[in-house]
Structure 1
Amino acid sequence: MDKLWNRWVGSSKSKRTKTQTRRMRRRRLRSESLETRKLLAANLFHNEAFPEDVNEDGEVSALDALTVINAMGEEGTAEPIGSLEPLSAQGNADLQQRRRGRMTDVNNDGRNSALDALMVINRLNRQRHENNRDDAGTDVPGADDPNESPTDADTTTDEIRSIDGTGNNVDNPDLGSANTPLLRVADNDYADGISEPAGADRPSAREISNALSAADPDGTTNERGLSSFVFAWGQFLDHDIDLSLEPETNGESFDIEVPAGDPLFDPFNTGEATIHLTRSEIAEGTGTSVDNPAEQVNAITAFIDGSQVYGSDQATADSLREFVGGRLLITEDGLLPNDDNQGVLAGDIRAAENVVLTSMHALFVREHNRLADEITAKNPSLSDEEIYQEARTIVIAEMQSITYNEFLPALLGDDALSRYTGYDANVDPSIANEFSTAAFRFGHTTLNDSFRFVDDDGNEIADDVSLANAFFQPEMLEETGIDPLLKYAASTLSQEVDLEVVDSLRNFLFGPPGAGGFDLISLNIQRGRDHGLADLNSVREAYGLETYESFDQITSDANLASELESLYGDVNNIDLWVGILAEDHTENGSLGETATTIIADQFERLRDGDRFYYENTMSDREIREIENTTLSDVIARNTNLNSLQDDVFFFSPEISGTVMAQASTTTTSTSDGEGEDLFAPTLIEEDALETLARDSGRQRDQGQDASGRNDRGQKDRPRDDGDRDTPLEPMVGAVLELVDGEGTVVDVAITDEMGRYRFDSVDESGTYVVRMALSDDYVVLGNDALDVQLNNGEENYRGMDFVVLV
């Protein structure tokens, strides 16, 4: 892999914020053998990335092995071996401190032993082996011991990942490959145990949708600050790992009954309206008996291998290539080209579903070609195939790192997945039916009802487009390009993960009702019944979770619990998709316990069962480079956007300040006739007070009109030149308003006992004004409104202060 990386000369961003560092949990590098991996599995290191770097000097050297050996001697009766004389006195003190912190216990088994030293030596040998490979990737003659046998990881680096996923598991070549059955974790719930749909005793899917999923007209944005990239990456990723198709001919209908009088789907109260659904294709030879029930097919590879960009079969992969310089086909404007049927040419058939998804496809085709061009420039003698495969390998690694180090921690919380301990051939990476047909469809609840077009400053540059009008409209990008939509996804809060879904998906999916339109929620529920998915409690039990005994254990929302009980009657009969989205969220994530468990299990298996997973095949240096490449970096390298936040999965700007009041100075007579000040704030000169009012915050110049009134019609209080000392104290309970560019008040804040206020739930980027609410109780000194320009999700406006006279 070093040969690959030496040709990749693209820059990467290494600087991270504290928040991002916390979210991006560093994963263990592969070990030299299975036995060593097992020893490492439960290890917790101060230096987690490189535990063999005992003295933490940034490299693994013979000094680290010597330090371990000396520590062994200090614990026993033997004298320390070797000498640490070259170290300074401070270096020796640091080393002793590390020993006391058990840094020398490399495998974390509670003692210093020869195994710790052996791990350091193995790391040294591997580094020597990697450093002595020539630019073509072959061993330099005589550089290594000719009797040294290559490790499993070394042999993997010389292989190329297949397009269709076959051969990843050497013993079971079809595991995770295209056109293989979905995995089923819980027993099926088919009505006949063979293939008949589940849920015959449940309400119509549309009835459930109407009762539970009608969206609040004002929307409900994500409470953890997840941006719209949670859906953009989630959908892009989903189209890399699973696809259930309907038969091309002779498909079996499983239409959804529409309640009589449904205002959209049965407006004339016929009682005969339905929403059409064709049952999914099942694997050949399945569905013959209760011992051989129907199993649906995953038409694409299960692995995170960029199949939405490169395809899951050779014919598709070839159709996407220029066959010159390792490049993929792309238009002069950097967009996906059209195929022979005037559809977009992409690795996945769903690439045109919406314009944000199409933008993501174009982004990663650009990234592939950027890498291919840089590889070509550095090594012009390479063949087209060599360049293509090297660029493809890097793109796949980037997708894997973004998924595991950014997307999943943002969605599930930092510690939802187990730590990586290396490839395990016994792990089945196949996609679970419970995952693809229910849990990973959480993203449908996160979409907003419209897409914005946003420039690099965070401002809208065109009218919003309704989500209902953004389906299958890739030609829209010919006018806008992909930049405004990617900036939108990073600069707008997603909707909350819950049962509410916007009208564009629930009532107008792919068209109006009666004219091709669908209800995506009804389709999700009905598809689960088509696939014979088990109910919520049965799935929880299959995944090792406790079952629910009552509806109020599922959700703390009493109204929702009551609706569930009214619809289902029995807590053991809830459709899986409904149940997982009704659950209260986990403490650190945006999903309930069931969905979190299903998703974590799936992505652990996709990682651990992938022999070509980037941490299992790349060198330490390559892994660091890959993990220093965020989705923000990929966007910046391939667009004209340069103001994105480092972590585009969060949009959480803050605006804060204080309101201080000039308090009246009231006196009362004392026994000696002296006046006593009832207030004890600090006194400042009035000139300084006015300077503070004028300079506080990042304010604009509001000015006054000829009448002496400011822009909001308030007249400034005349100053008393005789009073030179002005006391200030915090103003409690002051009301501040956040106003958007259209003059709409989008949020209100009230000052606390220290006069402080904060706006921390802004929905989107753009131009705002912070102002004091109109009141007869005070007059604002200086400007009563301050301008704010929110460019990205990490903006933090502090010191937006006001001073008032009361």
Structure 2
Amino acid sequence: MMAGDVDSYRHNVFDAEDVNDDGVVSAIDALLVINAMHGDESIDKEMFSDVNGDGRRSALDALMVINRVRRDRMGLDDPDPADEPITLLPMLPSEVRSIDGSGNHIEHPDWGSSGQTLLRAAAAQYGDGIASPGGADRPSPREISNAIAGAAQTAARSERGLSAFLSVWGQFVDHDLGLTESVEDGDAFDIAIPMGDPMFDPGGTGEVVMPFKRSMIQEGTGTSAGNPAQHVNEITAYIDGSQVYGSDIETAHALRSFVGGRLTITAEGLLPMDDAGMVIAGDVRASENLSLTAIHTLFVREHNRLADRIADEDPAATDEQIYQRARAIVIGQIQSITYHEYLPALLGVHSVARYAGYDAQVNPGIVTEFSTAAYRFGHSTLNEDIKFLDNEGRPVRDAVPLKDAFFHSVMLEETGIDSILKYAASTRSLEVDVGVVDGLRNFLFGPPGAGGMDLVAMNIQRGRDHGLSDYNTTRVAFGLDPVESFDAITSDVMLQDELSRLYGDVNDIDLWVGLMAEDHLSDSSVGELTAAIIADQFGRSRDGDRFYFENIFSGDELRFISETTLADVIERNTQLDGLQANVFFMQSEVRGRVTVAMASGLTGKAALDAMSSTVDDRITGVAGFTLELLSVGGAVIDTAVTDQRGNYRFRSFPETGSYQVRLSETGDTQDVVISGGGDRIRGVDFEVMTNF
């Protein structure tokens, strides 16, 4: 399975038309594409000749570069993302999807609907083969969490420059696809806490446990080895905006104003709240954290914005017609953003096969390996706090620690959603790996001993509760070869040793742990099995959806939806502007050059040597100088060394804000301000004196 660009078709995510990655788009870039098309293999190794990211090299790639050069020379700006197409909005489809997902498939009307059984790719591995939890011979999930997921592993930012929207959108879509709740008065499956755990058993009693309830089992399952326990997906398996509109008719009606097709929203543009201070939304988890509530609010605003425009276009339209038409467009937008922006950012450009139309043979149901393990990768990507930034990327109030952002939606009455969405677009995500910040690993929903939980331990325990197969068995179920050693999973020697100590046998690794430990595929932010599971699920949720937007819209209507990005939706419904075109990447850049000012009086060979590489009669770029990128507090974030022409570049900005670039050899500094996730600042140059 492809999960990104292959070596001979490389794509520059940062600036697609900059084929040679020199910071300037020129005719040279077009020529390089043309030469690559004619078999110049030397170009493939250093250049990015797949300009449009379609996995091929063609005249379209060269044309994109030529059009960019022409636009730049004419001084034409890129279209404003907030400028909506002037064409009429897509019309109401002849048939609208049901709220609960039923009837989508003609022959199997229950497929993908709420209340269906989670599917399995690999056979269940219960302790008794029927329903008792698996993994009884494995270490406690909390012991595993302490060993591999502690603070030492959480520092790395996304190497590919993914933004915090990776987790925000990931959770938003997760709550569109699956919900399996535990039974409050059901069987306990508490997590053993190691004696002396510094957070949960500081007194060393050895008697502490973390409360954990088992998931609801689908009625009629768990009766024999031939009929093992299965679990319930309580919402629809389609990407159908159920987190916005609900998965049952009662919820859907409770969210509507029944006036002008609009959803209920406060005068301040926020979601209404119940008596317990929880927001009222299409999904019961909408209050879990501030960022999630903000994105929920955004799409309610988008629905209402579309509803108002539809009403203006068609004054005779009924409330129901307006509601369903706006709903169909919003669902299409969520689908388009997911498949055209989010998944390529996470998995790589070509990870999910191109859409080939509706396939009635595909069951879109959610696979338990996806919902219970692979799609919980996002827990490792969250930063330790949530910040609030203005349009220029500057803080407007103190950050909120992640541990204090759970179920605190009332804070949005003070902050609004703009500053949170700007933060998500302007901050790099943490890397997908086994590390998880303390806010999730020790303080989830409260401090230790007072409601606090460990999300890593819970993920592992939930996998055992659901009888998930081990990592290697699951690899085979998804068509991959089993690994024979721990170093075949990860190149991190310390992690290899910990996995070996914890599990002993490479065939006994908990699925979530193995997935998070995997080395990433090229041009992807996840490993081989993780990519396979996620691509499989999203492929089936799309291909088995008769109402997928590319199947029900065409022409200008399809183009209207396909060309709407998440940045567009944000800018049309907030006061933010100037967001980077793809908010899933935070890839700001600073470039400059170190030059030598030649002292007067040079003669002979010294003068000739100096002049041989000059840009003009006075200066020359010099190689080997070290530049440091400094935070506002003076900490060194990154270093760069000038190339043979004296050029350097920084792309490692963790977030927007103020920075300094320092030339190590002289101590000279220059201030730079990053205000957006796609800023490209050039000309941060330094000059040094020499007599050669």
Deviations 1:60-108 (A, max 9, x none): xxxxxxxxxxxxxxxxxxxxxxxxxxxxxxxxxxxxxxxxxxxxxxxxx
Q: 1:796 aligns with which of 675, 680, 683?
A: 680
Alignment of 1:284-295 (within 5 A): 284-295=219-230
Letter of the 2:168 partner, please give it: A
> Could you say which structure has the greater relative contact order, defined with CA pairs below 8 angstroms and 6 or more residues apart?
2
Which residue, out of 765, 768, 787, partners 2:656?
Answer: 765
How far the C-alpha of 1:666 sits from its partner, in A, is: 8.5
Aligned residues of 2:54 and 2:350 also touching (Cα < 8 A): no
CA distance in 2, matches of 1:238, 1:372: 26
Q: Is the 8 A contact 2:191 2:212 kept in 1?
A: yes
1:729 paired with 2:620, answer yes
* Equivalent of residue 434 in structure 1, options 350, 365, 369: 369
Counterpart contact for 1:551–1:564, Cα < 8 Å: yes
Shift of residue 747 of structure 1? Answer: 2.7
Aligned pair partner of 2:304 in 350, 361, 369 = 369
**What CA distance in whole angstroms lies between the structure 1 residues aligned with 2:471 and 2:453?**
25
Question: By how many angstroms is 1:676 displaced?
Answer: 5.4
Per-residue CA deviations over 1:647-675 (Å, capped at 9, x if unaligned) read 0000111111111123467889xxxxxx6
1:712 match: none
1:804 CA drift (Å): 1.3
Q: Larger deviation: 745-754 or 432-441? A: 745-754
SS at match of 1:361: helix
| Residues 66-85 of structure 1 aligned to structure 2 (within 5 Å) | none
Q: Matches of 1:413 and 1:496 in 2, distance apart?
A: 15
2:130 aligned with 1:194, yes or no?
yes
**2:542 counterpart residue number:** 607
- Which residue does 1:122 correspond to in 2? none
Structure 1 residue 802: deviation in Å? 1.2
Q: CA RMSD in A?
A: 2.6
8 Å contact kept, 2:164–2:429: yes
Kindly name which structure, 1 or 2, has the bigger radius of gyration based on alpha carbons: 1
Give the whole-Å Cα distance in 2 for the aligned partners of 1:136 and 1:760: 43
Tell me which of 680, 687, 692 is aligned to 2:609.
680
In 1: Cα distance, 2:602 partner to 2:684 partner: 33
Cα distance, 1:466 vs structure 2: 0.4
Q: Which residue of 2 aligns with 1:411?
A: 346
Equivalent residue for 1:459, pick from 394, 405, 413 = 394
CA deviations on 1:552-593 (whole Å, 9 max, x unpaired) are: 111111111111111101111000000011111001210000
* TM-superposed deviation, 1:378: 1.1
Task: Give me the whole-angstrom Cα distance separating, in 2, the residues matched to 1:247 and 1:267.
Answer: 30
> 1:280-310: CA deviations, max 9, x gaps?
0011111111111110100110100000010
Identify if the C-alpha distance between structure 1 residues 772 and 280 changes in structure 2 by more than 3 Å, giving closer, same or farther.
Answer: same
Aligned-partner SS, 1:643 = coil
User: Deviation of residue 748 (structure 1)?
Assistant: 2.7
The answer to whether residue 631 in structure 2 is matched with residue 756 in structure 1 is no
1:158 corresponds to which letter in structure 2? S
Can you list the C-alpha shifts for 1:423-477, whole angstroms capped at 9, x where unaligned? Answer: 1111000000000000000000000001111110111111111000111110111
- After superposition, the Cα gap between the structure-2 partners of 1:466 and 1:23, relative to the gap in structure 1 and judged at 3 Å, is farther
Q: 1:218 to 1:175 in 2, by over 3 A?
A: closer
Among 632, 642, 653, the alignment partner of 2:588 is 653
Query: For residues 624 and 201 of structure 2, what CA distance do their matches in structure 1 show?
Result: 51
Partner of 1:182: 118
Q: CA deviation at 1:193?
A: 1.0
Deviation at 1:789?
2.1
Query: What SS does structure 1 have at the residue aligned with 2:508?
Result: coil
**1:572-626 Cα distance to aligned partner (Å, 9 max, x none):** 1000000011111001210000000000000110011000000111122211111
**Which of 159, 184, 199 is 1:223 aligned to?**
159
- Mapped contact 2:613–2:621 kept (Cα < 8 A): no
Q: How does 1:660-739 map to 2 (within 5 A)?
A: 660-663=595-598, 677=606, 680-682=609-611, 728-739=619-630
CA distance in 2 between counterparts of 1:136 and 1:288 reads 49
Asked if residue 380 in structure 1 is aligned to residue 315 in structure 2, the reply is yes
5 Å matches for 1:331-730?
331-663=266-598, 677=606, 680-682=609-611, 728-730=619-621
Distance 1:160 1:677, change over 3 A: closer
Q: Give the counterpart letter for 2:409 in structure 1.
A: P
Using the size of structure 2 for normalisation, the TM-score is 0.85
Secondary structure, in 3 states, of the residue corresponding to 1:681?
helix
Structure-2 change in CA distance of 1:365 and 1:24 (3 Å): farther
- Aligned to 2:151, the other structure's residue is in SS state coil
Q: Check the 8 A contact 2:594/2:622 in 1, yes or no.
A: yes
Contact 2:287–2:293, Cα closer than 8 Å, also in 1: yes
Of 385-394 and 795-804, more deviation after overlay is shown by 795-804
Of the structure 1 ranges 763-772 and 254-263, higher mean CA displacement relative to structure 2 is found in: 763-772
The answer for the alignment partner of 1:296 in structure 2 is 231
Structure-to-structure mapping, 1:43-82, within 5 angstroms: none
Check the 8 A contact 2:154/2:437 in 1, yes or no: no
Distance 1:684 1:180, change over 3 A: closer
> Which residue does the alignment assign to 2:243?
308
Bigger mean CA deviation after superposition, 654-663 or 486-495: 654-663
Q: Supply the distance in 1 between the matched residues of 2:642 and 2:58 (Cα, whole angstroms).
A: 44
1:44 CA drift (Å)? 12
Paired residue secondary structure (1:231): helix
Q: 1:234 matched to which residue of 2?
A: 170
Q: Which residue of 2 aligns with 1:278?
A: 213
The whole-number CA distance in structure 1 between the counterparts of 2:132 and 2:618 is 79
Amino acid at match of 1:246: S
Q: 1:677 to 1:290 in 2, by over 3 A?
A: closer
SS of the counterpart of 1:377?
helix
Give the AA of the match of 2:106.
V
Cα 1:554–1:259 shift into 2, 3 Å: same
For structure 1, which runs of at least 5 residues remain unmatched after alignment? 1-15, 28-42, 49-134, 138-156, 669-674, 690-725, 777-783
Instruction: Return the match for 1:254 from 167, 189, 205.
Output: 189
Q: After superposition, give the CA deviation of every residue in 1:324-381 in whole Å (9 maximum; x if it has no partner).
A: 0000011111111012443210000100110000000000000000000000111111
CA contact (8 A) 1:23 1:410 kept: no
Q: Where do 5+ consecutive residues of structure 2 fail to align? A: 1-13, 19-48, 62-89
Q: Structure 1 residues 676, 766: CA separation in 2 closer, same or farther (over 3 Å shift)? A: closer
Contact 2:101 2:112 in 1 (8 A): yes
Task: Using the TM superposition, give the Cα deviation of residue 536 of structure 1 relative to its aligned residue in structure 2, in angstroms.
Answer: 0.5
Q: What is aligned with 1:213?
A: 149
**1:344 alignment partner, SS class:** coil
Residue 23 to residue 523, structure 1, CA distance change in 2 (3 Å): farther
Is 2:59 the partner of 1:168? no
In structure 1, distance between residues paired with 2:301 and 2:51:
27
Residue 43 of structure 2 corresponds to which residue in structure 1? none
Counterpart-to-counterpart distance in 1, 2:250 and 2:494: 52
For residue 26 of structure 2, what is the aligned residue in structure 1? none
Structure 1 equivalent of residue 23 of structure 2: none
Q: Which residue of 1 aligns with 2:81?
A: none
Q: CA deviation at 1:47?
A: 8.8
Question: Deviation of residue 19 (structure 1)?
Answer: 6.7
Moved more, 743-752 or 461-470: 743-752
Q: Is the 8 A contact 1:359 1:485 kept in 2?
A: yes
Partner of 1:146: none
Aligned partner of residue 639 in structure 2, secondary structure: strand
Change (3 A) 1:47 1:295: farther
Query: Does structure 2 conserve the Cα–Cα contact (< 8 Å) formed by 1:330 and 1:337?
Result: yes
Q: Distance in 1 between matches of 2:513 and 2:473?
A: 14
